[in-house]
């Protein structure tokens, strides 16, 4: 009975941890640096004369816009995390050509202003899989990716993403080789405490390092 109770408790703990937001990769073709043109709260980068983008307020407060790199005419847009495509269509008066992916547990990611979409509704995509080509369809002033992680209807902080935190408009972000974000320390502590409370031990494997 004690073993069954222990198993159930461990199962519930792991289920709770897995219900957290998905680990994210930059949804951009690797090998290039991308200027963050609009950051949290709609703050526009200084290179574009600053100000506030009204389309990044309310439920889109944590949305990010990445501009096209100067040395790549048509960069590919990638899935930030694995999931199922639930929307793939054109919205000429808003997002233009856009895709929404369901990652489970109420989390979705949205990718907008494609030139070309490669995925359709019900397609399952792996993290890093190509979704389409960056463009400037819909309400847009130039080629870019509008990206947001959402929980229900509201955007949430998409960090860490490829190891990056504190996304700042005007800064460049490089999409490098595949990188697994480290397990947050608070989650490690919860697992350690669970095993310690039941007289068990857990061997940690060292975290991967960033490739760039």
pLDDT 10s per residue in the chain (212 long)? 555 544 545 544 444 444 567 899 999 999 999 999 999 999 999 988 889 999 899 999 999 999 999 999 999 999 999 999 999 999 999 999 999 999 999 999 999 999 999 999 999 999 999 999 999 999 999 999 999 999 999 999 999 999 899 999 999 999 874 444 455 666 667 666 766 676 665 544 344 444 33
Torsion of CA 146, 152, 156, 158, to 10 degrees: -60
3-state secondary structure of 194: helix
**CA separation for the pair 110, 50 (Å, rounded):** 24
CA gyration radius for the chain? 19
- Give the dihedral sign, CA 193/103/134/145: negative
Interval 99-124: pLDDT, tens: 999 999 999 999 999 999 999 999 99
Q: Which residues contact 64 (CB under 8 A, 6 or more apart)?
A: 36, 38, 39, 40, 146, 147, 148, 158, 167
Interval 122-161: pLDDT, tens: 999 999 999 999 999 999 999 999 999 999 999 999 999 9
């Amino acid at each position: 009975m004690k073993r069954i109770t222990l198993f159930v408790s461990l199962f519930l703990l792991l289920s709770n941890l897995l219900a957290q937001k998905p680990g994210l990769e930059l949804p951009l073709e690797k090998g290039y640096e991308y200027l963050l043109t609009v950051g949290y709260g709609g703050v526009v980068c200084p290179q574009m004369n600053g100000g506030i983008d009204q389309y990044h307020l309310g439920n889109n407060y944590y949305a990010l816009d990445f501009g096209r790199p100067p040395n790549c005419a048509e960069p590919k847009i990638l899935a930030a995390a694995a999931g199922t495509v639930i929307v793939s269509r054109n919205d000429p008066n808003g997002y233009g050509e856009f895709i929404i992916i369901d990652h489970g547990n109420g989390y979705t990611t949205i990718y907008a202003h494609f030139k070309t979409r490669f995925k359709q509704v019900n397609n399952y995509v792996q993290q890093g899989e190509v979704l389409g080509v960056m463009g400037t369809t819909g309400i847009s002033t130039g080629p870019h990716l509008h990206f947001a992680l959402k929980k229900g209807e509201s955007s949430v902080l998409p960090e860490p993403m490829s190891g990056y935190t504190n996304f700042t408009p005007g800064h460049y972000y490089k999409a490098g080789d595949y990188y697994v974000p480290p397990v947050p320390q608070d989650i490690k502590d919860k697992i350690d405490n669970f095993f310690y409370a039941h007289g068990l031990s857990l061997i940690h494997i060292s975290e991967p390092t960033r490739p760039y």
